[in-house]
Structure 1
């Protein structure tokens, strides 16, 4: 995710990092060159492209704008839903950890071990979910927080994140059987576990249910078609400035399309995706602090205005 102050004045025209320009500049160049070619032909041979009303082109552009706007809104809704779910995970993780430390007697060795075991698993869950959504290797991040006899169980589990939740539930059940927590407190802790499972399922739903391919194809084809015919439609009235107008329109339509593609998959590693690494590190720092650890990992900082 891009983290920077809003640019002012002419600076906004020269910002590349965080812009969709690197994704669409080849298409813009093609449309600009096409516009330049059409403009030169019209300049030297004025009768090549006759003048006609721009009403059909204007209506075409309005329809395309509505399509792109709808797709952009749908993609942003997915991005924002993903951010809300990870905010929910941060709350549930902090709340469950706080209850473990507050209500399980940590003055006894057994209670202290229970606290550390469960809170470490919650940290492991946040890292495991991030790696699951990004299809990366989770073990370097979660192994330091796992009991050695749990690693093989999790390697054999169909879902790593679900396996971690089962381990947390089993340990809380053990706490209840040993009367370390009451029935009422057990119910409240289970609600936090359910919230964590809900976040997992919601993120999987977002990841596994993209926008309909046919709709994406329709929008992209229409954008290409419109930008291709635009120079021929306006060259009679705009003359040698046709390439400029063609480039601006191409940047707008192709840029909106590219931005929608990035926001549609909010858990990736592109510039405008969610900073899952920073959020899972926040959970890690908060929970280790709840445990009373003095040496805490450093927060993830933005590098070149980009937070991952």
Structure 2
């Protein structure tokens, strides 16, 4: 345990204050009332988190889902319907024609292996984009904490320290909104955030770049002369790295998968799934309908998953839960405010 502070008697029980983070900080017996009003609207962000898939990977049942929705519904429905109609025609109306479709599944098996390889490559590429976006955001958050730990406390006044911490939160807010093609809304910020400052950032062509510029200006204008050069060099390096990560996010956002690859994959997939029912009906009869529907579901659901994680900055269930990142960052930065310390 940390040493006793504030002249607390050795035999007296320590007093604790529960901050927004998941920890207890030992405080002196007489602690002044703290103003820990948030920069974010906690209710707004908690409700936004409900739309993301946040799960326990050790549990199986919550992760098993059979959902046909979104872009995969119509291809799956048409393939299943066409298989049923063809089976009804050949098995019920014209059973004498069944011999015409008695063919081995070898050709479709070989083509299915090639299709599976293309689908795996597609999914792997999308997952790499998702992971690069996650790493970029983590680097941004790490540098925000670094500036909050090293630069903000070195500013001469408590107001200037508070201003820099607020500008750090404003930067990540604007980056989140900009990557989602929107602006920061009034209802998502808390009483501690300067709404007029947010409005000026919203009006910029590239709000994240403008926010980084303001952070650099705040540090350069307010750091003390004796420590200014050394600390500003470290701050500049952190801001440069944050700018690089913003660029990485822009690259992911504005560079979709190559059109010819997606067009070839989807055309190949639909042709294969549409013709697979012919040999299946010849070999399995009515059982071909659920088998064909299940195979179509598997391939189309993987393609839909790849599409969702290809652009990881949105509000889809499998996108990055950026709201969670911002909530955690706010808890850390609030403990660096002058009123907390």
CA contact (8 A) 1:235 1:242 kept: yes
Displacement of 1:151:
6.1
Q: 1:94 to 1:237 in 2, by over 3 A?
A: same
Between Structure 1 and Structure 2, which shows a larger proportion of helix residues?
1
Q: Deviations over 1:154-203 (max 9, x none)?
A: 45533111111111111111124x42633222211111111221121111
Whichever of the two has the greater Rg, that structure is 2
Pick aligned residue for 1:70 from 121, 145, 151: 121
Q: Deviations over 1:19-60 (max 9, x none)?
A: 5x3222443232222222222333231434331222211111
Give 5+ residue unaligned stretches, structure 2: 1-51
Q: Which residue pairs with 1:93 in the alignment?
A: 144
CA contact (8 A) 2:158 2:338 kept: no
Pick aligned residue for 2:306 from 246, 257, 260: 260
Q: Which residue pairs with 1:138 in the alignment?
A: 184
Pick aligned residue for 2:258 from 212, 227, 241: 212
Q: Which residue pairs with 1:40 in the alignment?
A: 88
Q: 1:12 to 1:157 in 2, by over 3 A?
A: closer
C-alpha distance in 1 between matches for 2:287 and 2:184: 54
| Greater mean alpha carbon deviation, residues 65-74 or residues 28-37 | 28-37
Displacement of 1:114:
1.8
Q: 1:217 to 1:174 in 2, by over 3 A?
A: same
Alignment of 1:2-13 (within 5 A): 2-6=53-57, 7-8=59-60
Q: Deviations over 1:245-293 (max 9, x none)?
A: 1011101111111111101110011111111122122222221221156
Q: 1:124 to 1:233 in 2, by over 3 A?
A: same
Q: Deviations over 1:181-236 (max 9, x none)?
A: 33222211111111221121111111011111121111111111111101012211
Q: Which residue pairs with 1:304 in the alignment?
A: none
CA contact (8 A) 1:124 1:142 kept: no
Alignment of 1:147-158 (within 5 A): 148=196, 154=201, 157-158=204-205
Pick aligned residue for 2:209 from 153, 156, 162: 162
Pick aligned residue for 2:171 from 125, 128, 151: 125
Q: 1:179 to 1:12 in 2, by over 3 A?
A: closer
Q: 1:135 to 1:12 in 2, by over 3 A?
A: closer
Displacement of 1:93:
0.6
RMSD, aligned CA: 2.4
Number of aligned residues: 282
| Greater mean alpha carbon deviation, residues 226-235 or residues 154-163 | 154-163
